[in-house]
Structure 1
Amino acid sequence: MSDILTKDDLRQFGLLLINDLRKIVEKAEINEKDTIHPEWLKSRVVRKLMDMSPGSLQNLRVTGKVRFKKVLGSYYYNKQDLSNLFSEDK
């Protein structure tokens, strides 16, 4: 006897698959927070913590005041360099 798949079967399978993928992504995001090196912060985190615009952050990068890394289109900034910006005696 052969089983026949219907559109409803495929739709239900798709919904189950999407739900499983969401769980995997959520779990990966939680684990990622534990494994990312805390000395490097993503651009949006830096902007939020320091309450600065993307342009201001780009200025720091271009002038060489902070070290950065570009990984797959995202910029990461050195946390120590950002701290030193405000602790330097001038």
Structure 2
Amino acid sequence: MPAIELISKDDLEQFKNELFAELRRMGIRSQGPAIQNKEWIKSYEVRKLLNISPGTLQNLRINGTLHYTKIGGILYYKTEDINKLLENNLR
């Protein structure tokens, strides 16, 4: 019968640090900064960034809150406009 091994908080912390170090070494980063460096982003990226549904994004387009460009059936949004939207809605 195998022995039971307990994992401490220190073990988990060490694992986390090693995992993040490996991901950085491989060049994998979070989505946020990668999106912020783009001038134009697609609908799914906007929804992910703002944590909103497709319907909410559609409402933002319809009422003119968020401008977009449509090319070949794909909607693109300027990150500058998204940042302005966020800044204007600070509370």
TM-score, scaled to structure 2: 0.53
- Report 1:1-90 matches (<5 A): 38-88=38-88
Which consecutive segments of 4 or more residues in structure 1 shift more than 3 A? none
| 1:50, distance to aligned residue in structure 2 (A) | 1.1
| 1:68, distance to aligned residue in structure 2 (A) | 0.4
Structure 2 unmatched ranges of 5 or more? 1-36
**Contact 1:65–1:81 (CA<8 Å) still a contact in 2?**
no
Give me the whole-angstrom Cα distance separating, in 2, the residues matched to 1:40 and 1:65. 17
The percentage of counterpart residues that share the same residue type is 43
| 1:78, distance to aligned residue in structure 2 (A) | 1.4
| 1:49, distance to aligned residue in structure 2 (A) | 1.2
| 1:83, distance to aligned residue in structure 2 (A) | 0.9
| Secondary structure of the structure 2 residue equivalent to 1:86 | helix
Structure 1 unmatched ranges of 5 or more? 1-36
Give deviations 1:13-65, integer Å, cap 9, x for gaps.
xxxxxxxxxxxxxxxxxxxxxxxx92111001111111110011011111111
Provide the aligned length of Structure 1 versus Structure 2. Answer: 54
| Secondary structure of the structure 1 residue equivalent to 2:70 | strand
More helix by share: 1
TM-score, scaled to structure 1: 0.53
| Secondary structure of the structure 1 residue equivalent to 2:56 | helix
